[in-house]
């Protein structure tokens, strides 16, 4: 039942269901039309037969009188089986029976030759017409309708069986087609999921049926190949540019070191030292950009990841930052659940924790508090009671070169961007929230609530 419910909740399943509903409605409409046509035509035939019979009996009465008519009616009734289809009643003007097999005069006007469907005492329905032969004699002729009823019942049964079989065939065809389409669409969706997680080399399967889905698959493969080539070219340009910049900057730093050995003026030494610091900052920024690009390129790639003990890593990071907290006059608290493990790169987790704790220590004033906690999930929380992050910047701060302050605090605004890229590389994400006061950064698996 769950499979059927899942199939008919899909687009093609709902389409098949609608086709079945339309088929049922069409069969019902066709049956109603057939029923009306057969019933109307049969009633007209019965009416014509009754009228013909009345005309014949009237001729007998005209030629032979009441006695001859009575004898002919009795002869007909003698030869007719007990469940015969014809019914007669010859009666006086007052309705007294003279001959016939209708028990009493029905509610029909003989003066007006009235016709109607009447029900006899045996619950048998007949079509009857009354006629006035002369002022003292009247006649009713009727024909049984049970044959028409049986015919209409058989037509109804035939339509019910044929309609049920037709709907069943349509549902089975739709069910089979939906299963095949679901398999094809499922394979395409699986390929798209792999592509969206970074596997640009993934190919969408082409069945070779030559239909629209094959055309969609081919266009998708062409698009991903083109996209992969563009991303590869962009990555090569970025990497090469960063590497090419790093080399001359390193050479420039070496020359500045040589210049420092030759310069004696304190002012010039300070300028050269500042230049060297700027060069180191640029190299650090380039390294961060390269790390971000590398991590984003490998998002979803499980190669290089292994099961690590997050509790052990968090404990070592807490020990490392505890000394810095004492020097800065900041209260540093930690709370870890034992044996929290996950599939990840330990160096990436260390760098994420280092960046988040560096940020917290950077913005929390002396006397403030920073807390690092770890719970199964895993969920890592770095919380402080500093000035916090404006709500409008909770997502923006994870972009490259985004900064909360006006620029007085050292840095290039790449730490959180790098942390987010590393987190995504390991199947995690980082969110920022208000801690009231302060900021709270939560590291948790992608998709976790």
pLDDT at 36: 92
**Cβ–Cβ < 8 Å for 370, 357:** yes
Q: What CATH code is carried by the domain that includes residue 40? A: 3.30.450
Of 297, 321, 344, the residue that ends a domain is 297
Closest-CA residue to 293 (of 247, 353, 229, 242): 242
Asked if 367 and 392 sit in the same domain, the reply is yes
**Per-residue confidence at 138, pLDDT binned at 50, 70, 90?**
very high
Of 121, 150, 179, the residue that ends a domain is 150
Asked if 312 and 278 sit in the same domain, the reply is no
**50-77 average pLDDT score:** 89
55 in a structural domain: yes
What is the distance between the alpha carbons of residues 171 and 181, in angstroms, rounded to a whole number? 15
Helix axes 266-297, 415-425, angle to 10 degrees: 30
281 in a structural domain: yes
Tokens of 440: 């709270």
| Helix, strand, coil percent values for the chain (each to nearest 5) | 60, 15, 25
In degrees, rounded to 5, the angle at the alpha carbon of residue 19 between the alpha carbons of residues 14 and 25 is: 125
**Per-residue confidence at 208, pLDDT binned at 50, 70, 90?**
confident
Is 60 exceeded by the pLDDT of residue 74? yes
What is the distance between the alpha carbons of residues 258 and 23, in angstroms, rounded to a whole number? 91
Asked if 138 and 14 sit in the same domain, the reply is yes
Cα torsion 208, 211, 213, 219: sign: positive
156 in a structural domain: no
Is 50 exceeded by the pLDDT of residue 406? no
Q: Judging by DSSP bridges, how do beta strands 341-344 and 97-100 pair with one another?
A: unpaired
Asked if 21 and 68 sit in the same domain, the reply is yes
Asked if 311 and 427 sit in the same domain, the reply is yes
Contacts of 392 (CB under 8 A, 6+ apart): none
Q: What are the pLDDT digits (tens) for 421-436?
A: 888 878 888 899 888 8
Cα torsion 211, 213, 218, 223: sign: positive
Tokens of 160: 């019910």
- Domain count across the chain: 3
Of 150, 182, 200, the residue that ends a domain is 150
Is 60 exceeded by the pLDDT of residue 104? yes
266 in a structural domain: yes
The domain of 435 spans 306-445
**How many Cβ atoms sit within 10 Å of the Cβ of residue 134?**
11
Full-prediction pTM beyond 0.85? Answer: no
Residue-by-residue DSSP string for 336-395: E-TT-EEEE-HHHHHHHHHHHHHHHHHHSPTT-EEEEEEETTTEEEEEE-SS---GGGTT
Asked if 363 and 342 sit in the same domain, the reply is yes
């Amino acid at each position: 039942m769950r499979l059927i419910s899942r199939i008919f909740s899909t687009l093609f399943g709902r389409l098949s269901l609608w086709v079945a509903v339309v088929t049922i409605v069409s069969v019902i409409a066709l049956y109603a039309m057939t029923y009306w046509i057969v019933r109307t035509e049969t009633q007209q035939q019965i009416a014509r037969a009754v009228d013909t019979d009345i005309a014949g009996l009237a001729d007998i009465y005209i030629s032979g009188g009441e006695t001859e008519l009575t004898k002919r009616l009795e002869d007909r009734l003698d030869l007719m089986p007990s469940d015969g289809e014809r019914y007669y009643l010859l009666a006086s003007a007052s309705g007294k029976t003279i001959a016939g097999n209708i028990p009493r005069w029905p509610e029909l006007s003989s003066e007006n030759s009235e016709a109607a469907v009447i029900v006899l005492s045996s619950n048998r329905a007949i079509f009857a017409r009354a006629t006035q032969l002369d002022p003292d004699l009247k006649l009713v002729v009727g024909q049984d309708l049970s044959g028409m009823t049986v015919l209409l019942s058989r037509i109804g049964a035939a339509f019910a069986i044929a309609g049920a079989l037709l709907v069943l065939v349509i549902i089975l065809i739709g069910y089979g087609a939906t299963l095949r389409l679901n398999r094809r669409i499922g394979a395409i969706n699986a390929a798209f999921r792999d592509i969206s997680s970074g596997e640009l080399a993934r190919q969408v399967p082409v069945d070779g049926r030559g239909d629209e889905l094959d055309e969609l698959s081919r266009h998708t493969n062409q698009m991903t190949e083109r996209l992969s080539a563009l991303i590869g070219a962009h990555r090569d340009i970025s990497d090469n540019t960063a590497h090419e910049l790093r080399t001359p900057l390193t050479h420039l730093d070496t020359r500045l070191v040589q210049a420092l050995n030759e310069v004696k003026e304190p002012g010039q030494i300070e300028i050269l030292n500042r230049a060297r610091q700027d060069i180191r900052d640029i190299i650090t920024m380039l390294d961060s950009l390269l790390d971000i690009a590398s991590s984003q390129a490998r998002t979803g790639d499980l190669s290089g990841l292994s099961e690590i003990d997050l509790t052990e890593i968090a404990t070592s990071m807490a020990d490392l930052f505890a000394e810095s907290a004492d020097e800065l006059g900041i209260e540093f608290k930690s709370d870890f659940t034992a044996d929290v493990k996950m599939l990840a790169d330990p160096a990436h987790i260390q760098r994420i924790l280092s960046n988040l704790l560096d940020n917290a220590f950077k913005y929390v004033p002396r006397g403030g508090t920073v807390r690092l906690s770890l719970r199964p999930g895993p969920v890592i929380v770095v919380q402080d009671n500093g000035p916090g992050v404006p709500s409008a910047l909770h997502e923006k701060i994870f972009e490259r070169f985004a900064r909360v302050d006006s620029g007085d605090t050292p840095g290039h605004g790449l730490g959180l961007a790098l942390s987010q890229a590393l987190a995504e590389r390991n199947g995690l994400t980082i969110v920022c929230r208000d801690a009231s006061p302060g900021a709270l950064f939560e590291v948790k698996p992608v998709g976790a609530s």
